[in-house]
A and B are shown apart, each in its own frame.
Chain A
Amino acid sequence: MIRRAWRWVARTLARPPRAAYLCALVAVLNALVWSIIVPPFEVPDENGHYAYVAQLVQAGSLPHYIATSPDLSPREDATLEVVHAFRLPGWPQNPAPLTSADQHVIDAVERQDLSARGSGNAGSASDNPPLYYALEAVPYVLSPSGSVLDRLALMRAFSSLFAGVTVFFVFMFLRELFPGTRRVWSVGALAVALQPMFAFISGGLNNDALLYAFAAMLFFALARMFRRGLDEHTGLAIGLAIGFGLLAKFTLLAFAPAAALAVLYGLWRARRDGRGPALRGAAIAAALSAVPTLLYLALASRSVTPGGIGAPATTLTGAHTSLRAEISHIWQLFLPRMPWMAPQFPRSQLWHTWFMGLIGRFGWLDTTFPFWVYVLAAPIAVALIVGALTTLARERKRLRRHAFELGVYVVMIGGLCVEIGVESYRTLVTSGGIFEQPRYLLSGLCIYAAIVALVARLGGRRIGIALGTLIVMLALAHDLFSQLLVIGRYYA
Chain B
Amino acid sequence: MLVLVLVHVLAHGRTQIASTDRVDPLAFVVVLTPGSRLCQQDEIVPSDTAALRMTIGTYGDPGPRLAFAVTVPDPAGPTATRLLASGVLAHGWQQGKVRIPIAPRVRGNHTGATVCISNLGATQVAIAGSTVLGDYGFNDYLNGRYYAAEVRVDYMLPGRPSWLEMVPRLAYRMTLGKGGVGAIGWIAPLLAMLALAAIVVRVLLAAERES
Contact = CB atoms under 8 A, between A and B. Distances in A.
B196 A492 contact: no
A94 interface: yes
A98 B200 contact: no
A32 B176 contact: no
B211 A106 contact: no
Contacts of B195: 29
A23 interface: yes
Contacts of B163: 488
Contact of A102 (B177, B180, B196): B177
Interface string B181-205: 1001100110011011101101110
Interface string B159-185: 000010010001001101111110011
A491 interface: yes
A390 to B, nearest CB: 19
A321 interface: no
Nearest to A19: B203
Contacts of A461: 211
Nearest to A149: B179
Interface in B114-155: 136
Interface stretch (B18-26, B59-67, B73-81, B87-95): B18-26
Contacts of A480: 193
B211 A181 contact: yes
A431 interface: no
Interface in A89-123: 91, 93-103, 106, 110
A122 B193 CA distance: 34
A84 interface: yes
B174 A25 contact: no
Interface in A441-492: 461, 464-465, 468-469, 472, 476-477, 480, 483, 487-488, 491-492
A26 B196 contact: yes
Q: Most B CB atoms within 10 A — which of A95, A181, A464?
A: A95
Contacts of A492: 16-17, 166, 170
Nearest to B189: A33
A26 B173 contact: no
B181 A491 contact: no
B46 interface: yes
Given A95-B20, A476-B197, A153 B180 contact: yes
Nearest to A39: B177
Nearest to A480: B193
Contact of A36 (B20, B24, B185): B185
A98 B204 contact: no
Interface residues of A, number: 64
B170 A491 contact: yes
A472 B204 contact: yes
B2 interface: yes
A190 interface: yes
Interface residues of B, number: 45
B188 A96 contact: no
A103 B176 contact: yes
A152 B204 contact: no
Contacts of A151: 179
B202 A22 contact: yes
B4 interface: no
A186 B203 contact: yes
A150 B181 contact: yes
A91 B170 CA distance: 19
A145 interface: yes
A469 B201 CA distance: 9
A94 B199 contact: no
A36 B192 CA distance: 11
B178 A36 contact: yes
B22 A84 contact: yes
Interface in B5-47: 16-20, 22, 24, 44, 46-47
B174 A37 contact: yes
A94 B204 CA distance: 40
A36 B175 CA distance: 9
Given A37-B189, A182-B210, A150 B196 contact: no
B211 A183 contact: yes
A98 B211 contact: no
Interface in A117-151: 144-145, 147-151
A26 B199 contact: yes
Nearest to B45: A101
Given A476-B200, A492-B16, A102 B193 contact: no
Contact of A25 (B2, B17, B185, B199): B199
A304 B193 CA distance: 46
A102 B19 contact: yes
A166 to B, nearest CB: 16
B17 A182 contact: no
Nearest to B171: A491
Contacts of B204: 186-187, 190, 468-469, 472
A9 B207 CA distance: 25
A83 interface: yes
A36 B188 contact: yes
A96 B46 CA distance: 14
B179 A94 contact: no
B177 to A, nearest CB: 4
A40 interface: yes
Contacts of A149: 177-181
Interface of A: 18-19, 22-23, 25-26, 29-30, 32-33, 36-37, 39-40, 82-84, 87-88, 91, 93-103, 106, 110, 144-145, 147-153, 181-183, 185-187, 190, 194, 461, 464-465, 468-469, 472, 476-477, 480, 483, 487-488, 491-492
Given A32-B192, A194-B200, 4 more contacts: A91-B22, A99-B176, A100-B176, A101-B110
23 contacts: A22-B202, A29-B193, A32-B188, A33-B189, A36-B181, A37-B174, A87-B136, A88-B22, A95-B17, A95-B22, A98-B20, A98-B46, A98-B173, A99-B19, A101-B44, A149-B177, A149-B180, A152-B179, A186-B204, A187-B207, A465-B207, A476-B197, A483-B189
